[in-house]
Structure 1
Amino acid sequence: MRTIRIGVAAALLASAAGLSAQGAGPAVSASATAHPDQWPALAMKRQRDPKVEARVDAMLRRMSVEDKVGQLLQVDIASISPKDLETYKLGSILNGGNSAPNNDEFAPAPEWLKLFDAFYDASVKRSDGRPVVPVIWGTDAVHGDNNIVGATLFPHNIGLGAMRDPELVRRIGAATAAETAATGIDWSFAPTVAVVQDDRWGRTYESYSEDPSLVASYAGAMVEGIQGRVGGDFMRPGHVISSVKHFLGDGGTGGRDQGDTRVSEQTLRDVHAAGYMTALPAGALTVMPSFSSWNGTKLTGNKSLLTGVLKERWGFDGFAVGDWNAHGQVPGCTNEDCAAAINAGLDMFMYSGPKWKELYANTLREAKAGIIPAARLNDAVRRILRVKVLAGTFEAGRPSSRPFAGKFDLLGSAEHRALARQAVRESLVLLKNNGVLPIKAGANVLVAGAGADNIGQQAGGWSITWQGTGVTNANFPNAQSIWGGLSEAVRAAGGTAILSADGKYTAKPDVAIVVFGETPYAEFSGDRPTLEFSPDDKSSLQLLRRLKAAGVPTVSVFLSGRPLWVNPELNASDAFVAAWLPGTEGGGVADLLVAGRDGKPRADFRGTLSFSWPKRLDQYVLNRRDPNYDPLFAFGYGLSYAKGGQVSKLDEARPANAGGDQNALFVRGRLAPGASFRTSGAVTQARVDRQAQEDSVRLTFAGAGELAVEQAQPIDLSRESNGQLSLILDYRVTRAPTGTVTLGMAGGRSATVPITGVLRNAGSDWTELAVPLRCFADQGVDMARITRSAVIAATGAAGIDVSGIRVASAPPGPVICGQR
C-alpha cells in the first residue's frame, strides 16, 4: 500500500481519555517551588580544571553578544542549511525524530557524515578575528545509534531494566557511542532516567524501571559508557557527549506525554530524581529539561529546579538543553521568543521550524536590552564552551577526520551484535511455563504471529524512524528477526521450523511459538487510556485460542513497551515470555526457548520484572511502594528453568466502560469512545469489507455533502500542536471526484486542506493519506477544543471507501500541504 503525505509539520496527539496525574509519596503540595537546601549535595567525580576555565574565559571575552546568542541556539537540520552557519554561528544542530540528510530517513551512514562536514565547515568559517567555535550535532541514540541504517539496536530501556546488569549497560553505552562516532556525530540525547509511575505513558519503554533504586543503578553506568569514565577514558575518541533526560518528574505525569506531575517535593526528589543522583556524579555533560510540568509549572521555566537544585545545589557545570520547542510552552513565551526560559536556567534552546532566525533576533534584542542579564548570558555560554572544550570539540577537527569517523564497519559489527544478543537473553522474563519450554530437540515447530518475522516491530519506536513505522526488514541489514533466530536454533537441534504468520498449517506441529504484541510507537502516539492489550484488534488472541482448541502446545512471545493486561492471552498460552522490545538481535529469543541437541536448555532465563504486571486493565498506577499494591506478577517476578512455576487460570473480566485507543478514531470498523459519524448534504454511507466484515465505510457523494467524526466531548490538543503526528486516512477511490474534496478538522473554527488531486490520481487501490495536524492549527483551529476530528467534504459527485481514520506518525518522505 502506498502512502500520500500532506503537510510540512504536524502536531502530536496524546490520549484524550481520562489520563489523571499521580505519584507515590506524601500528600501533594500545590507549590512548584523547590527548596534546594532539602536536596542532597552530590559528590562529582569530575572537578573543574583551571586550564579549561581559563581557556573558556579567554574565548568569552573575545566574543560579541551576537556570537554569544548564537551559541544558545540548537536548530533542527530540517530547518537550517549549512550555508546559514556561515552567518549565524549557532551552538548546535540536531536531527529531530523525522529529520535526516536529504530528507531521507534511510540515508546511508556516509551521507550523515558528509552533511556534518558541511555544517562544521560553515561554522568554523570566519575572518573577523573573533573566536571560532565549532558546531556540535545532537541525536537521539536511545537504544543504539538508532537513526542509522545498519546500526546495532539494543533492547529498549525497559528490557535493560529486567536484566539487573549495570556493567552490561555500561558496555551497551560504549558500543552505542562508538557507532554514533562512526558517523561523526558527537552528542547523544541519552539516557532517559524517567521513573515511570503510570504505564499508560507512551514513553514507558524508555524507562529502566518503576523503582528509583534500579534507575539509579543504571543511570551512572550508561553515562560512563557513552562518555567514558572520569579519570580514565572520559571523552576519548569513540565516546560522545551524553544528555540525561528529562529533568524532572517526566515519569509521573499520569500517563500523558507533556503532562503535569502532581507530587510533593519529597517525592520529586526521592523518586523522580534518582537517576540524576548517579548520572551527574558520573560526569554527564548535558541535561535536558522536560516538556512536562511539576505542580502546574513547566520544568523548562522552573528556576528553583533548573538553577536552584541542578546547578547550585548539585553543582552541575555542564549545560541544560531544551526539548523540542519546549520553551514555547513556558507562560508568556512562543517558540520564537522566550527569555523566561533562559533566565530560569535553560542554556540552549532546541528549535524546529522555519522561524529560527526570529528566535535568534528576539534573544539578541533581549540580551542587548538586559532582559536577559549579561551575567546569565555569559553563564549559559560559558557552560556551552566548557562542554565543547571537555569534549575535545576544538581539537577534533572536521567530523570526517576524527579517529572513529568513517569506521562504518562498527555499525552492526559482530562484537556489538553479540553484546545486543546477550542483552536480549538477559532481558526476557518468563511469566508462565506449564511444561512446554524449552522446545525439545527434533521438534516440528510452527512459528506464527505478526511479530515473528518483523524486525521493525521487535525494535519498536525510535528505530530508523521516530515512531518506528514505515520500515521493513530490508531496512535492517545487520539484524535478525525472531523467526530467523528460531529457525536456526530449531534446525540446529535436529527439528523443523515453519513460518506461518496467520498460524495455519497442513501437518499438526509439535509446538507453536506465537510472536505478537504492540506495534511501534513513540511519545504521544503511544499514550493509552487503559492497559488492555490491543482493545481494537483481538486477532492474536483468536490465533492463540485456535491453536489451543486444536491441541497444539503454544508459547507466546509478547513484544511490548510496557506491562499490559493480557489475561486472556495468558490463559490461551502454555508458556508466556515478556520479550519487551528486544531490538535487532532476534536470535537472543531462540537462545532461551529452544533446547540443544542434548535436550538441555542452551541458556536459562534470568530476567525479572522491573515494572509490576497488572492484574486488571485499569491498574495504571501499580508500583510496589503504592498503597494496596495488588499486581498479577510483582516487581522482581520471573521464572526460570532452574526455578519453575505454573500460572493458574486468570480472570478475564473486562470493565464494561473500558475505553479504546483515542488515537484510533475509526479503526477495524469501530469508532473511538466518544466519537460518532455525522453526515450532511448529498452523501450516503454504507458498510463494506476490507480485512474483516463491514470494517470500512463507503461514502457515495451525489453532490455537495460531508462526513464528520464528531466528538461527544471536545479533545484538548493544545500541547500537541508542537510536534510531528498526522491525521491519517486509509481509503480507496470508487468514483473519481467531479468537484473539489477536502479533509478538515474543527475546533472553534474549521480548517481544511484540499485533497482533490490526491483522489483523482489515486486509482482504485487502497491508499494512505497523511495530513499533519499542524496544517489545521496554522489555520486557526482551537487545538484545545477539537469537536470534529476529521471531516471529509465534497462539492460534487465522488465515491470513497474509508477503512481507517487515525492519528499517528506519517511514514517517511517529503510532504506538501494539500493537492488541488
Structure 2
Amino acid sequence: MSLFSRKRAGLGVLGVAVVIASLTPAGGLAAGREIYLDSRASTERRVEDLLRRMTVEEKIGQMAQIRVGKLRGDCNNVNGPLVDSCLKTVLADAHVGSILSGGGDAPLDNTPKAWAEMNNAIQRYALENNRLKIPIIYGADGVHGHNNVISATMFPHQIGLGATWDPGLQEKIGVSASKALRATGVFWNFAPVSDIARDTRWGRFYETYSEDPFLSGQLAAANVRGQQSKVDDTAQLTATAKHFAGYSAPANGHDRAAAQIPIRQLQDLVLPSFQAQFDAGVKTVMINSGSLNGVPVHASKYMLQTQLRDRMGFKGVAVSDWQDMKYLVDRHKVAPDYKTAIAMSVNAGVDMAMEPSNAAEFTSLLLANVRDGSVSRGRIDQAVRRVLKLKFDLGLFEKPYVDPAKADGNVVNVDRSLARQAAAEGTVLLKNDGVLPLSSAAKKIVVTGETADDVRRQLGGWTVEWQGVPDDSPLPPTATVLTGVREAVPGASVVHAPTQAAAVAEADGADAVVVVLGEKPGAEGPADTENPVLTPEQQAWVDAVQATGKPVVVVLLTARPQVLGAAADANALVAGWLPGSEGGRAIADVLFGAVNPSGKLPVSWPKALGDPTLTYDQLPGANTSAGAKYDPLYAFGHGLSYTSFTTSGTSVSVDRQNGVVKFTVANTGGRAGTVVVPVYVRQPASPVLTPDARLVGFTHVELAAGQSKQVEVSFKLAQLALTVGDVDGDGRREIARGGYEAVVGAEKATFTVR
C-alpha cells in the first residue's frame, strides 16, 4: 500500500499532486514585501531580516532535528502514513526546522517516488503552518549512494573508495549521490566520514577512507565538491564532515568509547582531513559522540570553538549526532539533567540537536535555559543565523519541493557503470603467484565461500537499514561475485559450491577455485569486534580447497583488513572490500584481466591479532626489536598489477610556499596499466618525533606497455607543519627548518626549508 493512498488526487497535507512552486512571485519583490523572501537580496540581508521577525520559540525550533517517525503512525517512530496531529506537534507547535531519516526510516513503499511525495508533504505542511514560511531541511545518511532506497545504486563503501586513491572518481560519485538524494527531497547528506582508520576493531572502520590524514582529506574533499555541486534545477545539497573529532580512535576499540589523544596527535593526525573538507566548502559538521581526553566533544568549547571555528575557520552548521545532548546525562554523566546538558552543548558550540524522539522536551528546556540566562539570546541568534544561512544558500526558500515524477529517473539503477568502475579501481591485488588473470578460455571455474552469492554481506551496513539489508526486506539489485564470474566466462561451466565439502568435490577438473570470504553486515557498536580475524571456518574452507592442488583465488569482501591466518597461503589474494551493487562484475573484471588492477591499500593489513592499531606512520624510537617495527602482512600503499612499473630520476624543488617533485614512471611490463605513485616526505632530524614517512601527494599514471612519462606532484610546505613544544606545550604549529627528503619508490631527493 502506498504511503499516500489517501487523498491521492488532492492537494492536502498528505496529497501527492505536487505543485513545483516558488515562495516568491515571478515578478520579484512586491512593494513592502519582506526582504527575506526576495531572492535578489544578499543572503546576509535575508538572514538578518528573517531573524529579527522571529520569536525566541521559533528560533529554538530551528535548532531541533527530529526523526521522521515522529510524524507518522502513532507519532512514535512507527512506519505508517503521515498523520496531521503528529505533523502539528512537531512542525507547528515546536517549530522544528529539520527532519531526518534514522538508520532505516523510509516510506512504506520504499521507492524514490514515495520518498519525494513524503518529503513534499512534510515540506508543504511546514510551509502552510508557520507564519514566516521557513522551509524544513531533510537529512539522511547517504554514505554509499542513496542507500536507504532499495532500488538505488549502492557504491562501494568508503574504505573501498579509499583504495582507488582517485579524487576525481570521488567527485563523480558525490555528484551521483547528490542527484539521487535531492530528487527525493533530501537536501542534507550526513556524509562523508572524515575520521581516519586507526583500529580494525572499530565497527565503523569501513566507513573511513584511509589511515592517512592526507589521503583521507583529499578524497573526502573531492566527495564534498561533488555533492555540493549545482547540476540541475532543484535546490542544492549540503554534505557533512563527520564526526568532529577523534571519533575513530576509541582507546578500547569500541564505538563511542573514550578517546585519549594528545594535542600533537590531534592536530597533526586527526584534524587535517577535516580541514581539507572545510577548505572545500563543506557547509555542515557533525560532532563526535564520544569523549576526548575526559570531555565529551558535545560539551567541549575548546573543540567546537577554539579548534573548529577559531583555528580551522569553519563557518557552517554544527549538528549533534543521534541524541547526544541527552547522553551527556545518561552516558557521560557530566550533566545532572537534560536541561543542563542542553545548555552545556549549545554553549560549547552545537547549533542543532539531533534529538530524534521528543521535540517538545528539547525546545521547552532550551527555552527555559534562555529565560533563566543559562543560554544567552545572542548564542541562540548565532546558531539560528547559521541554520537560516544554510537554507538560503541551498535555495530551499525558492525551491522547497521536488518533482516526484522525476525521482525514479534519478535514483533507480543510475550510474551503474560508475559504480562498477569504482569497485574495480578499489580492488587491490594483494598477492599473485602467477594464477591471475584467469583465462577467459577456462572450461570450469568453481565459485565458493560464504560470501560468493550473498548480497547482504557484499553491500554491508548502511544499506536499506543501518545494520544492512534486513532479512525480511527485498534485496537491492546487485551483481554478486558468482554473477560476475558467470557473465565474464559465459562459455565456461561456472559451478557454485555453497559448502566446503561441495567445493572440494567440485574442484576436480576445475581450472581454478574462487573462494569469496567476508563478514556479516553491521554498523557502529554492533559491528565492533575484539577479534578482527577470518573465522576458523573460513580459514578451514581455504585450507580444504588448497589441498586439492587446484589454483585458489581468495576474494575478501570485508569491512576491515582481517587477519587472514591460513588463508594468506592461497595462490592469489584479492581485497574487494564492500564493493556495492556492481561489485561482483568489477571483481570479475579484475580476475579475468578485463581490468588491470590499480588499487592500493589505504590502510595497513595486519599480520597478527595483536596489530589492530598498526599504521604506517609509526613514530621512531620505541625499541629495535622485531615486534616493535612496522611489519604488516601488506603495507599501506601496497597493490600489485598485471604489469610492472619503475620510477626514476626523482628531483625536488621548493619555494617559500610549495614544493614540486618530478620523476619518470615507466611501464616495464607487457600490458597497459595504471599505477598510483605516492610521494612521501621524511625529516631525518626533527624537533619532535615525526613519522619516518608522511604522504604529501600522489598521482595516477596510465601507460601503455613499454611507455614512460615524466610527471610531477606538487605539495604545500604547510603540509610539513608540526605541533612543536614540550609535553605541556601550547599547541603551536610550525614548519621546522632544515633538511628533508622527498621519497618516490626506492629513490629520494633532498631539499631544505629555510
| Secondary structure, aligned partner of 1:69 | helix
More off after superposition, 329-338 vs 616-625: 329-338
Q: Deviations over 1:509-535 (max 9, x none)?
A: 22111111111010001111133223x
Output the amino acid matched with 1:62. R
- The answer on whether the counterparts of 2:542 and 2:566 sit within 8 Å (CA) in structure 1 is no
SS where residue 438 of structure 2 aligns? coil
- Do residues 428 (structure 1) and 427 (structure 2) align? yes
Q: Distance in 2 between matches of 1:206 and 1:244?
A: 12
- Give 1:269's aligned residue: 267
> Match of 2:579?
582
For residues 178 and 617 of structure 1, the distance between their equivalents in structure 2, rounded to whole angstroms, comes to 42
Query: Is 1:91 matched up with 2:97?
Result: yes
**Distance of 2:258 and 2:389 partners within structure 1:** 33
Deviation at 1:234, TM superposition (A): 8.3
Counterpart residue number, 1:18: none
Residue deviations 1:236-291 (CA, integer Å, cap 9, x gap): 63741111100011122132211222111121111111112211121111100110
Specify the alignment match of 2:464 in structure 1: 464
Contact 1:113-1:406 within 8 A present in 2 as well? no
Provide TM-score, normalisation by structure 1. Answer: 0.67
Counterpart CA distance in 1 for 2:599 and 2:643 is: 13
Contact 2:44 2:389 in 1 (8 A): yes
Correspondence for 1:345 among 311, 332, 349: 349
TM-score (norm 2): 0.73
Q: Does 1:409 align with 2:413?
A: no
Contact 2:440 2:488 in 1 (8 A): no
Name the CA distance, whole Å, in 2 between partners of 1:135 and 1:162.
Answer: 37
**Closer, same or farther: CA 71–238 of 1 in aligned 2, 3 Å:** closer
Aligned residue among 125, 143, 148 for 1:122: 125
**How far is 1:395 from its partner?**
0.5
Aligned equivalent of 2:187: 186
Shift in alpha-carbon separation, 1:295–1:378, aligned structure 2, 3 A: same
In 2 relative to 1, CA 624–176 (structure 1 residues): closer, same or farther, beyond 3 Å? same
Alpha-carbon distance in structure 1 between the residues aligned to 2:473 and 2:65: 33
Instruction: Indicate the residue corresponding to 2:312 in structure 1.
Output: 314
Cα offset for 1:469?
4.3
- Structure 1 residues 77, 407: closer, same or farther in 2, change over 3 A? closer
| 4+ long deviations beyond 3 Å | 233-239, 333-337, 471-474, 505-508
Query: What is the correspondence of 1:296-445 to structure 2 with a 5 Å cutoff?
Result: 296-330=294-328, 331-332=334-335, 338-353=342-357, 355-400=358-403, 406-414=406-414, 416-443=415-442, 444-445=444-445
SS in 1 for 2:66: strand
Once residues 168 and 251 of structure 1 are traced to their aligned partners in structure 2, the CA distance between those partners, rounded to angstroms, is 25
Find out whether 1:56 has 2:47 as its counterpart: yes
1:359-402 per-position Cα deviation (integer Å, ceiling 9, x unaligned): 1111111122221101100000000000000000100133347x
In structure 1, the partner of 2:8 is: none
How far apart are the structure 2 equivalents of 1:124 and 1:333? Answer: 37
1:810 is aligned to none
The amino acid that maps onto 1:407 is: A
Letter in 2 for 1:338: I
Instruction: Give the C-alpha shift of residue 313 in structure 1.
Output: 2.9
Deviation per residue, 1:730-778 (Å, 9 max, x gap): xxxxxxxxxxxxxxxxxxxxxxxxxxxxxxxxxxxxxxxxxxxxxxxxx
1:411/1:630 CA distance change after superposition, 3 Å: same
Q: Distance in 1 between matches of 2:232 and 2:392?
A: 10
The amino acid across from 1:495 in the alignment is A
CA distance in structure 1 between the aligned counterparts of 2:41 and 2:311, rounded to whole angstroms: 21
Aligned to 1:292: 290
Residue of structure 1 equivalent to 2:59: 68
Q: 1:99 to 1:121 in 2, by over 3 A?
A: same
Mapped partners of 1:200, 1:425: distance in 2: 26
Structure-2 residue corresponding to 1:498 = 495
Q: Is the 1:456–1:473 Cα contact (8 Å) retained in structure 2?
A: no
Aligned to 2:243: 246
For residues 186 and 511 of structure 2, what CA distance do their matches in structure 1 show? Answer: 49
Q: Which runs of 5+ in 2 are unaligned?
A: 1-39, 72-85, 329-333, 620-628, 646-754
Q: Give the SS at the match of 2:318.
A: strand
Q: Percent identity?
A: 36
2:433 is aligned with what amino acid?
Answer: N
Choose from 595, 603, 618 the match for 1:611: 603
CA distance in 1, matches of 2:516, 2:262: 42
Q: Deviations over 1:699-719 (max 9, x none)?
A: xxxxxxxxxxxxxxxxxxxxx
Residue correspondence of structure 1 range 190-229 to structure 2 within 5 A:
190-228=191-229
CA distance in 2, matches of 1:578, 1:631: 15
Q: Give the secondary-structure state (helix, strand or coil) at the position aligned to 2:128.
A: coil
Q: CA deviation at 1:629?
A: 1.7
SS in structure 1 at match of 2:397: helix
| Contact preservation (8 Å) 1:455, 1:473 | no
Q: Deviations over 1:90-134 (max 9, x none)?
A: 1101011132224xxx7222222222122111211237xx42211
Please name the residue that 2:446 is paired with. Answer: 446
Q: Which residue of 2 aligns with 1:143?
A: 144
Kindly state the Cα deviation for residue 474 of structure 1 after the two structures are TM-superposed: 4.4
2:609 counterpart letter in structure 1: L
Q: Secondary structure at the match of 1:438?
A: coil
Q: Distance in 1 between matches of 2:231 and 2:275?
A: 19
- Alignment check: 8 A CA contact 1:327 1:334 kept: no
SS in 2 for 1:60: helix
Stretches of structure 1 lacking an aligned partner (at least 5 in a row): 1-48, 595-600, 645-820
Residue matched to 2:234: 237
Q: 1:186 to 1:207 in 2, by over 3 A?
A: same
- The residue type paired with residue 301 of structure 1 is A
Equivalent AA in structure 1 for residue 87 of structure 2: P
Alpha-carbon distance in 2 for matches of 1:577, 1:152:
23
How many aligned positions are there?
A: 570
Q: Return the alpha-carbon distance in structure 2 between the equivalents of residues 308 and 317 of structure 1.
A: 13
Instruction: Decide whether aligned partners of structure 1 residues 523 and 604 sit closer, same or farther in structure 2, where only a CA change above 3 A counts.
Output: same
Instruction: Summarize deviations over 1:652-711 as a string: whole Å, max 9, x none.
Output: xxxxxxxxxxxxxxxxxxxxxxxxxxxxxxxxxxxxxxxxxxxxxxxxxxxxxxxxxxxx
Kindly indicate whether residue 544 of structure 2 is the aligned counterpart of residue 546 of structure 1: yes
Question: Partner of 1:46 in structure 2?
Answer: none
Contact 2:173 / 2:226 at 8 angstroms: preserved in 1? yes
Greater shift after overlay, 523-532 or 342-351? 523-532
- Measure how far apart 1:438 and its partner are: 1.1
Contact 2:151–2:413 (Cα < 8 Å) also in 1: no
Q: Does the Cα contact within 8 Å between 2:96 and 2:359 map onto a contact in 1?
A: no
SS state at 2:285 partner: strand
Kindly provide the amino acid, as one letter, of the partner of residue 639 in structure 2.
Answer: G
Deviations 1:419-451 (A, max 9, x none): 010011110111111121111122110111121
What's the secondary structure of 1:152's corresponding residue? coil
1:153 deviates by: 0.8
Aligned in 2, Cα 1:472/1:411: closer, same or farther, shift over 3 Å?
A: farther
The one-letter amino acid paired with 2:228 is Q
Inter-partner Cα distance in structure 2 for 1:234 and 1:111: 23
> Within 1, Cα distance between the matches of 2:338 and 2:577?
36
SS of 1:621's partner is coil
Distance 1:377-1:238 versus aligned 2 partners, 3 A rule:
closer
